[in-house]
Amino acid sequence: MKTQIIISLILALLLTQMPIIGKYFAMLNTMVHETGHSLTALVTGGNVRNISLFPNTSGVTMTGHTSWFSHVLTSLSGYIFASGFAFFLFYLLAKGKYTWIVILLMGLLSLNLLFWVRNLYGVFWIITFGALFIWLIRSGHQTLIVYSLTFIAALVLVESVLSAFNIMWLSVISPGRAGDAANLAQATKVPAIVWGTGFFLQAIYFAMQAWKRVF
């Protein structure tokens, strides 16, 4: 298991640097990130209008809020949810709960397709990725399934760290374009670099906890 996870992490890191196919698979983390925004908006009394997923791995969640508190928590939740989700996947891997990983991933794909994602590329990505995932599960090749689920967990973990680093870097060189960090800076008057750094540090923390869980 340990060797398998190390190989999966290396492959995920290499794959996500590739121009087209890398961005396609990295979109999984984007979907998880945007799902975090959506769920938090709903839990805090807001609403979700739609989610858009784009080929460059960026995503936008359009939400409505009834309070400042709801808006801030929703902006905070994307990176934290993605990092926590990556950790949870590794927790399930360590426990050998592969069926739960399948249920969780299919649930997220279905939830986004049915209720939130409406732009053309986003729908295309969910349908094709979902079809590939269903084919994998129906193949019945247990070893292939386990290796693929391990790779998916590694992919989400790697991307959760890389995307958090990117937002931290953007908050330094171009604070106004730093996505969630910029939104939080506008809402709280706390500089974007503080939020960007916080996002990266929590991503590192969850990654370390995931590593400890399996090693």
Residue extents of the structural domains in the chain: 2-214
pLDDT reported for residue 33: 98
Distance CA 152, CA 84 (A): 15
pLDDT reported for residue 2: 83
pTM metric for this prediction: 0.96
pLDDT reported for residue 180: 97
**Per-block mean pLDDT, blocks of 10 residues, the chain (215 long):** 91 94 97 98 96 97 95 97 98 95 97 97 98 92 93 98 98 96 97 98 98 90
The β-bridge partners of 61 are 51
Report the largest interatomic distance among the alpha carbons of the chain, rounded to a whole angstrom: 53
Distance CA 174, CA 146 (A): 41
Closest C-alpha to 83, from 188, 165, 150, 1: 165
pLDDT reported for residue 58: 96
pLDDT reported for residue 85: 98
pLDDT reported for residue 141: 86
Distance CA 33, CA 86 (A): 11
